[in-house]
Copies of this chain bind each other. A is one copy, B any other.
Amino acid sequence: MTAMESKEWHIVAYAPEGIPTSDNLKLRSTTIPVDAGSIPDRHVALEMLFLSVEPFVRSRMTGREDGLYSPQLDLNQVVTSFGIGRVVESTDDKYAKGEIVTGPFLPVAEYCVVPSDFIIKKIEPNGDIALPDYLSCLGVPGFAAWVGIEVLGEPKAGSNVFISAAAGGVGMYAGQLAKLRGCRVVGSTGSDEKVILVKEEFGYDEAFNYKKETDLDAALSKYFPDGIDMYLDNVGGKMLEAVLNHVNEGARISLCGMISEYNKVWTEREGVRNLLNMVGKGVRMEGFMVGSPSHLARFGDFAREMEGHLRQGRIRSKHKIYHGVESFLESLQSLFSSSNMGKVILQVKPS
């Protein structure tokens, strides 16, 4: 029997409010038998390479179903996320040792054995595209940006598009997709460094640091003298409210997530008081989860289009990579501190 020592993160207590800590999530060591004789039929043993660190993961630790309505982890369950692994053993003919695969619910661990139907895609080795890109540009945040802009927002050339959390995983791609449609794009983000990043790397026309320009109404008046035609909301709360005072007739708002609100029970969240403006301006606001069947049905279209952009250099990525499975908790916490630039990824091996 071949077995691997593996460290894995599991949940010991829900975190209904606040940022999860080591009181909620703990690392433990296990031994995983990975030889063909030990793993069930139609399973694969994986050496985990990369994992996506995203708000959805946090939303499965509240112990209640609301907001994103994410299925909650059971206590003691290993945390899972979208990830990339290398097959070390397989009892399914479809997968061979050494192949690189991705799946949406892979454990935050060094090694694992999972049913082979947890695998959604085999990644063909390809010099053009780095593995982390499959978790960002070609993964959940890229797809979220694509749904928010191309499917729901559909901004016309020349229209005024606003993206919050513009330097984050979704925001960076959303802004670039809107630019490819010929829009004028403005982003908000949490540091001057990120303002420079989104303008210089991602081609935003303008960006502002909401921690410095704290009067959001004044900031939006300044950056949108002609009003806002489309808004991709990643933050919710006060920013969404401010935007609703600057929308143009027929504006579209894609609600991708609300990072300002995840760590609060709903009754403690920021109320949006000016929804009546949606009546007067005929605004359409639509929320979405990329995992919903109606959107997932478009994943193929997205992947073709986005791979094209990527290979031809029309879309750039920025990754913030945390190294070593031990750093998972820190990487998850970092989502809520506005400290990262780009998509947060955990590289399971330390180096």
Residue on B with the closest CB to A286?
Answer: B284
Complex Cα gap A257–B282 (Å): 11
Which of A269, A274, A275 counts the most B-chain CB atoms under 10 A from its CB? Answer: A275
Docked complex: A259-299 residues within 8 A CB-CB of B: 261-262, 266-289, 292, 294-295
Complex Cα gap A279–B261 (Å): 12
Chain B residues with CB under 8 Å of A276's CB are: 66-68, 236, 258, 261-262, 266, 269, 287
Which of A68, A249, A267, A276 counts the most B-chain CB atoms under 10 A from its CB? Answer: A276
Chain B residues with CB under 8 Å of A277's CB are: 66-67, 69, 266, 287
Chain B residues with CB under 8 Å of A271's CB are: 270-273
Interface size of A in residues (CB-CB distance below 8 Å): 43
Chain B residues with CB under 8 Å of A66's CB are: 245, 274, 276-277, 280
Select which of B68, B269, B289 is within 8 A of A273 by beta carbon.
B269
Docked complex: A46-71 residues within 8 A CB-CB of B: 66-70
Q: In whole Å, how far is A192's beta carbon from the nearest beta carbon of chain B?
A: 29
Is residue A256 within 8 Å, beta carbon to beta carbon, of the partner chain? yes
Is residue A332 within 8 Å, beta carbon to beta carbon, of the partner chain? no
> Given A69-B280, A283-B286, A286-B283, A275–B292 Cβ distance below 8 Å?
no
A278 and B286 contact, CB distance less than 8 A: yes
Complex Cα gap A292–B255 (Å): 24
B287 and A279 contact, CB distance less than 8 A: yes
Chain B residues with CB under 8 Å of A261's CB are: 276
Q: Which 9 A-B pairs have the closest CB atoms?
A: A271-B271, A278-B287, A69-B280, A279-B287, A68-B280, A67-B276, A284-B286, A269-B273, A271-B273
